[in-house]
Structure 1
Amino acid sequence: MIVVTGATGGLGGATVEHLLRRVPADRIGVSVRDPGRARHLADRGVRVRRGSYEEPATLREAFAGAEQVLLVSGNDPAADVVGLHRNAVEAAVAAGARRILYTSQQGAVPGNPYRPSDIHIATEAILRDAGVAWTALRNGAYGPLDQVLGPWRRTGVIAQPQDGPVPYTDRADVAEATAVILAGGRSFDGPVTLTAPTAVTFDDVAQIASGLTGRTVERVVVDDERWVADQVTNGVPVQLARLLLTWYRAAREGCFAATGPVLAELLGREPHTVADRLAVHLTT
């Protein structure tokens, strides 16, 4: 059985949908905080059990019978995320899982100034010492583009801190590739990087957006401290704003610049590009 955590979230839910196209529903289980939100999966034959990283006993039950467990990483900046991940890894091992897959992050190596990288580095170390086969899916940045570009469609300006090349990756592509791996399409030991094939800067994105919209989209570099102050003015807590700033610093230092062919190989096609994703947003 394949057990997926976070199956009512964006990445976990999309992964389950792709799994359902590849393996029988009775070979899929999900571990969710609220089973009621996964009723649509239970109705299709997926085993739904309550499981929370904060409650290891629930995880052991949710993971029972699993050959593989997909651990979707936590992202609560106020929580001991590494400790929660340790709970999940230990529960998967106790349940007899033969392989643990974990949603890590591209560039999860020492020296990356993006602070969540430390969580992924520590979790990969836990997996390395767990005594079972493991795969760390070092996914390229797959959040909504507007989160990093800002309100450019309204303003015609990408006004953000200095950046660097990033292979912005479609979450749908990541989910599909994850399902391919879980379904046995290909196996990886240790870290594997899943990214779009091309890394782009905000200057590149501004040119792409200009071509798609037929109007000039300008790239403006905002001073780091000015950007933090603007975020706080817009209601973002100062600690969160400074954490987000470390992502731009990591990008400008080239921490996310590397790309690879694995995502395309798993999909059997070219992954979606920034142009593809922007074009979709412009028509919705």
Structure 2
Amino acid sequence: MIVVTGATGGLGGSTVEHLLQRVPADRIGVSVRDAAAARHLAARGVRVRQGSYEDPASLRDAFADAEQVLLVSGNDPAADMVGLHRNAVEAAVAAGARRILYTSQQGAVPGNPYRPSDIHVATEAILGDSGVPWTALRNGAYGPLDQVLGPWQRTGVIARPADGPVPYTDRADVAEATAVVLAGDRSFDGPVTLTAPAALTFDDVAGIASALTGRPIERIVVDDEQWVADQVTTGVPEQAARLLLTWYQGARAGHFAEADPLLAELLGREPRSAADRLAAAVTA
């Protein structure tokens, strides 16, 4: 059995949908905080059990009979995510899982200014000490492009801090590739990187956006502290703005610069590019 955590979330839910196209439903289980929210999966034959990273006993029950467990990483900045991930790893080991997969992040290395990378580095170390074969799926940045680009369609500018090349990746592609790994016969040991085929800077993105819209889209570099202040003025909590700022800092330091061909290999096609996603946004 393959057990997926966070199956009512974006990445976990999409992964389960792709798994259902590849393996019988009775070979899939999900661990979710609220079992009622996964009724649609239960109706299709998926085993649904309540499980929470805060409750190791519930996880051991949710992971029972699992050959593989996919741990979707948490992202609560106020929580002890390393401790919660440790709970999940230990529960998977206790349940007898033969392989643990974890949704990590591209650039999960010591010294990356992006704060969540520390969580992934620590969790990968826990996996390495678990005694169970493991795979860390170091996913490229797959959040909404507007989150990192700002309201460029309205303003005509990409006014953000200094950046660096990033292979902006589509979450749907990551979910499909994750299902391919879970359902396939090929094992991946340790960290692997899943990204779109090309890394782009905001200057590159501005050029693409200009061509798509037929109007000039300007790239403006904003001082870090000024950008944080501007975000706070628009209602963004300062803590959240400073967290996102560390992502720009990680990008400019080159921690997200490498594009990897594995995602395309797993999908059997080219992943969606940033240009594809921008085009969809323009025509939406």
Per the TM superposition, whether the score is higher than 0.5 is yes
Task: Letter of the 2:8 partner, please give it.
Answer: T
Q: TM-score normalized by structure 1? A: 0.99
Q: Find the counterpart in structure 2 of residue 272 from structure 1.
A: 272
Residue-by-residue CA offset, 1:229-277 (whole Å, 9 max, x unaligned): 0111122222221111111011001110011110000000001000101
Determine whether 1:162 maps to 2:165.
no
Residue segments in structure 2 that go unaligned for 5+ positions in a row = none
Q: Find the counterpart in structure 2 of residue 213 from structure 1.
A: 213
Q: Find the counterpart in structure 2 of residue 189 from structure 1.
A: 189
Count of residue correspondences: 284
Task: Letter of the 1:130 partner, please give it.
Answer: S
Q: Find the counterpart in structure 1 of residue 132 from structure 2.
A: 132
Q: Secondary structure, in 3 states, of the residue corresponding to 1:114?
A: coil
| Aligned counterparts of 2:129 and 2:109: Cα–Cα separation in 1 | 17
RMSD: 0.7
| Aligned counterparts of 2:97 and 2:147: Cα–Cα separation in 1 | 36
Q: Find the counterpart in structure 2 of residue 77 from structure 1.
A: 77
Q: Find the counterpart in structure 1 of residue 90 from structure 2.
A: 90
Q: Find the counterpart in structure 2 of residue 55 from structure 1.
A: 55
Q: Find the counterpart in structure 2 of residue 33 from structure 1.
A: 33
Q: Find the counterpart in structure 2 of residue 179 from structure 1.
A: 179
Task: Letter of the 1:86 partner, please give it.
Answer: R
Task: Letter of the 2:94 partner, please give it.
Answer: A
Q: Secondary structure, in 3 states, of the residue corresponding to 2:23?
A: coil
| Aligned counterparts of 2:58 and 2:220: Cα–Cα separation in 1 | 49
Q: Find the counterpart in structure 1 of residue 247 from structure 2.
A: 247
Task: Letter of the 1:246 partner, please give it.
Answer: T
Q: Is the Cα contact below 8 Å between 1:180 and 1:186 reproduced in 2?
A: no
- Cα distance, 1:186 vs structure 2: 2.6
Q: Secondary structure, in 3 states, of the residue corresponding to 1:101?
A: strand
Identify the range of structure 1 (233-242 vs 136-145) with the bigger mean alpha-carbon deviation: 233-242
| Aligned counterparts of 1:246 and 1:9: Cα–Cα separation in 2 | 24
Q: Find the counterpart in structure 2 of residue 65 from structure 1.
A: 65
Structure 1 runs (4+) deviating above 6 angstroms are none
Q: Secondary structure, in 3 states, of the residue corresponding to 2:4?
A: strand
Q: TM-score normalized by structure 2? A: 0.99
Structure-to-structure mapping, 1:109-124, within 5 angstroms: 109-124=109-124
Identity of aligned residues (%): 83
Q: Secondary structure, in 3 states, of the residue corresponding to 1:54?
A: coil
Identify the range of structure 1 (182-191 vs 256-265) with the bigger mean alpha-carbon deviation: 182-191
Residue-by-residue CA offset, 1:163-212 (whole Å, 9 max, x unaligned): 00000000000000000000025320000000111000000000101111
Q: Secondary structure, in 3 states, of the residue corresponding to 2:181?
A: helix
Q: Find the counterpart in structure 2 of residue 261 from structure 1.
A: 261
- Cα distance, 1:227 vs structure 2: 0.3
Q: Secondary structure, in 3 states, of the residue corresponding to 2:48?
A: strand
| Aligned counterparts of 2:222 and 2:122: Cα–Cα separation in 1 | 32
Q: Find the counterpart in structure 1 of residue 12 from structure 2.
A: 12
Q: Is the Cα contact below 8 Å between 1:104 and 1:139 reproduced in 2?
A: yes
Residue segments in structure 1 that go unaligned for 5+ positions in a row = none
